[in-house]
Amino acid sequence: MQLQYAYVLQQLIPLITFHEDEVFEIELETGAGIDGRSREIDLLFSGRFQESEHKIAVEMKCYRTLASSGGKRGATDIFMKDVYFDLFLLERYVALGVASAGVSLVMNDMERLIDPKEKEAKCWRYDISQGAQFGAERFETPIGGQSVDFRLEKHYEFDWQRRGEFWFLEAEGRFQNAA
């Protein structure tokens, strides 16, 4: 998915270039040190003009009902937690100056995650349903047999958009570096 998105961005660069001295770069799987651990930013989009530089970190998640093998996919709880954890990473990239802004792009084909009939399982601590609001809080509910401990500093509200059989979510801008 990152490669396809990078290709689309690369094709759009001429449309957003206003001066011949502007320089744009797209990096995939860029390494970044976050809180003593090495992380990889899915896509880092950089633009420079004169003395000004702007970097946008993009994290992407895709969850499909069927795996590429054709079998049913499980672990929706891990997917839900990872959507939240990507927001945490984006906040950290900005706070540490790795990027000046962050964008989370999420897609899935499971309507039950967007419009659940009930939210009783522990995975709903990481509520990704339509209209979910959260943030400025600590998340410690273990998922998939793994301990979890991270804190989001900003507030979020999910507004999913449906296109065909897929649901799309963009979370951005709420954690831009003020500098």
Give the span between the Cα atoms of 146 and 157, in whole angstroms: 26
Whether residue 103 contacts residue 172, with contact meaning beta carbons closer than 8 Å, is answered with yes
Q: What is the pLDDT along the chain (179 residues), one digit of tens a residue?
A: 777 778 777 887 877 778 888 888 889 998 998 888 999 999 999 988 988 999 999 999 999 887 778 878 778 899 999 999 999 999 999 999 999 999 999 999 999 999 999 999 999 999 999 999 998 899 999 998 999 999 999 999 999 999 999 999 998 644 444 44
Sign of CA dihedral 83, 107, 56, 46: positive
Give the span between the Cα atoms of 163 and 107, in whole angstroms: 10
For residues 40-54, one letter each, b for 16 or more C-beta atoms within 10 angstroms of the residue's C-beta and e for the rest, the string is ebbbbbbbeeeeeee
Give the span between the Cα atoms of 39 and 6, in whole angstroms: 19
The model's pTM is: 0.88
pLDDT for the residue numbered 172: 60
